[in-house]
A and B are shown apart, each in its own frame.
Chain A
Amino acid sequence: MVLDPEALFSIKLSLKVATVSTVLILLTGLPIAYVLAEKEFPMKNLLDALITLPLVFPPTVTGYLLLLIFGKNGFIGEIIYRLFKTGIVFTWYGAVVASSVAAFPIFVKTARSSIEAVEKNLIYAAFTLGKGELETFFRVVLPIAKRGIVAGLVLSFARAIGEFGATLMLAGNIPFKTNTIPIEIYSAVSDGNFERANLLTVVIAVLSLGIIFAVNRLSQRGNR
């Protein structure tokens, strides 16, 4: 049995969505993880709590809130609509937003703790040797915290590829448009097409095992 075009599309879409989400998470999450790890500022706990919310909310609730924010009348959705004359709801961008938000806390938490684990004196040493904060980050903090940060990325990629609830709310279930693997499996089961569901499950299982393997290898190397 070969995968039908719709299932193939869903695999490609899932990989694309997860990859784009992971890049977005890296770009926005790394500075936030650094700030949370190294800086003291008012309302730090509030920021931390806000970032953690998607981890504890039911995904459908996260999705619903995102729908309110990114919908045509939502405060970000309206801006996007004015700028680009298009919305993100029920498009693959919606899937990216949903997976990014869901996976964001996983990355920030992992990256933050690996940055916190960098000895303070190493950062101080770089400062006294005349290096600014940015250079210290790239030449000292990042190389030392690298493994934790990469592990965080891998885990958030995994979370992004498995995202279901929030994606369904924000991007919907549109064949050849927003049908990521988990959504495709859901559809297959609802249609009673267990053979398709099984095949896609194998695909997800292989991806997941690969990810677990990668994370384990990274953490083992870190311990050496």
Chain B
Amino acid sequence: MIVFKAEKELKNFSYSVSFSSDSQITALFAPSGSGKTLTLQMIAGLQKPDRGEIEVNRKTFFSSKRGINLPPQKRNVGYLFQDYALFPHMTVKENILFADRDEKLFREIVGLLEIENILNKFPGQISGGQKQRVALARALMRRPEVLLLDEPFSALHREMRENLYGELLSIVKRFNQRAVLVTHDFEEVLRLSEKVVVFEEGRNVQEGEPEEVFLKPKTVKIAKLLGHRNFLKGRVAETGEQFAVVELKGNVKLKLRRRVPLKAGEKVTVSVLPMSAAFSPAGESNRVDVLVKRIEKRGNFLYLKVELAGEEVELHLPVSLTPNYILEEGKRTTLHLSADQICAIKEEE
């Protein structure tokens, strides 16, 4: 269990964040410069909040009320720095044994992370992925209360990341390790964490299960942070138990899964996820007639820019599902948009 509440005034930046989490991996998600790393540093005791309470596994790390501020040495956190922070003058083995000389644990961790063959090398002689494993091994050596992972994958190639996601998950499970993951990649959040806290300019603006947060962003601004790109203004036309219908400009009606309370007549912003599009079998609801403006092939997907209800909307279609003759720039076509992939966002006050 992590309970975090902290305020700090910095030059040009005011920080006030509070969240609690009982998940094994909690993700802190936001673009850079919104105070995520500062949060990790506060948990680790490397930065001191002006006010607040920080508690990990029922141990109070910091409490301004009770005058508690444990030094970093006494908090026992495993910190995986973004740049790995391996000691350049020590071999891999010396780095890992720096914290603790427990030979048995050392052999187990080194075996799990498959770094036996680089133990006598220096950090300058190994690759980025290997550095990350070494840093993780070093952080695990003290059996920390919590692992703090600061954008651990940002410096690595996509492929390598894929491998490391699975590895990290298995290690976290193996050691029953609690972890806080800082990232600006929502894909990573969805893959690794059970709980996400969304940050924006030194504030936590939304939290919850990653999928839920992704499909129920509170505001358009948050939706943009999460990677939503198509926003259309409309008005709720009908509401049912599970679905609602929103009317957009030009009498276009879209059916969407009702995830937030909606009232008929209410103004909402609709976010159409790029993955919502498919070709339209007859009889299906949510058939929309769109004008195709641009087609671009990227990997296994076609990226389409289409005009829908007077706005430009980006949609992604798998190449395998798109016979070329239907799609042509400048022509109209009928697409089906999945109601599950359309989100209603209440108008901001």
> A128, A130, A144: which has the most chain B beta carbons within 10 Å?
A128
A-side contacts of B73, CB under 8 Å? 127-128, 130-132
> Which chain A positions have C-beta within 8 A of B81?
121, 124-125
Q: Are B142 and A129 in contact, with the CB atoms below 8 A?
A: yes
Is residue B129 within 8 Å, beta carbon to beta carbon, of the partner chain?
Answer: no
A62 to chain B, nearest CB (A): 38
- Total of A-B residue pairs, C-beta within 8 Å: 57
Instruction: Assess whether B72 is in contact with A122, with CB atoms less than 8 Å apart.
Output: no
Q: Please tell me which one of the listed residues B41, B85, B99 contacts residue A130 in the complex, with CB atoms under 8 A apart.
A: B99
Q: Indicate if B83 sits at the interface (CB-CB under 8 A).
A: yes
User: In chain B between 71 and 120, which residues have their CB closer than 8 angstroms to a CB of chain A?
Assistant: 71-73, 75-79, 81, 83, 85, 87-89, 98-100
Q: Which residue of B lies closest to A119 (CB)?
A: B85
Q: Which residues of B contact A (CB under 8 A)?
A: 41, 44-46, 71-73, 75-79, 81, 83, 85, 87-89, 98-100, 138-139, 141-142
Shortest distance from the beta carbon of A24 to any chain B beta carbon, whole Å? 28
**Within the assembled complex, what's the spacing in Å between the Cα atoms of A122 and B82?**
12
Could you say which residues of chain A place their CB within 8 Å of the CB of B98? 126, 129, 131, 139
In the complex, A129→B44 CA distance in Å? 10
Q: What are 29 of the A-B contact pairs (CB < 8 Å)?
A: A119-B83, A121-B81, A121-B83, A124-B41, A124-B44, A124-B46, A124-B81, A124-B85, A125-B79, A127-B44, A127-B71, A128-B44, A128-B45, A128-B46, A128-B73, A128-B77, A128-B79, A128-B139, A129-B98, A129-B138, A130-B73, A130-B100, A130-B142, A131-B73, A131-B99, A132-B73, A143-B89, A144-B88, A144-B89
Is the beta-carbon distance between B46 and A127 smaller than 8 angstroms?
yes
Q: Summarize B's interface: helix, strand, loop or mixed.
A: loop
Most chain A beta carbons < 10 A, residue from B46, B138, B141: B46
Q: Which residues of B contact A139 (CB under 8 A)?
A: 98
- Complex CA gap A119/B85 in Å reads 8
Flag whether A140 is at the interface (Cβ < 8 A). Answer: yes
A144 CA / B81 CA spacing, docked (Å): 18
Mark contacts of A128-169 with chain B using CB atoms, 8 A cut-off: 1 yes-contact digit, 0 otherwise. Answer: 111110000001100110000000000000000000000000
The distance in angstroms between the C-alpha atoms of A132 and B77, with both chains bound, is: 15
A129 to B86, CA, bound (A): 12
Q: Tell me if B99 and A122 are in contact (CB < 8 A).
A: no
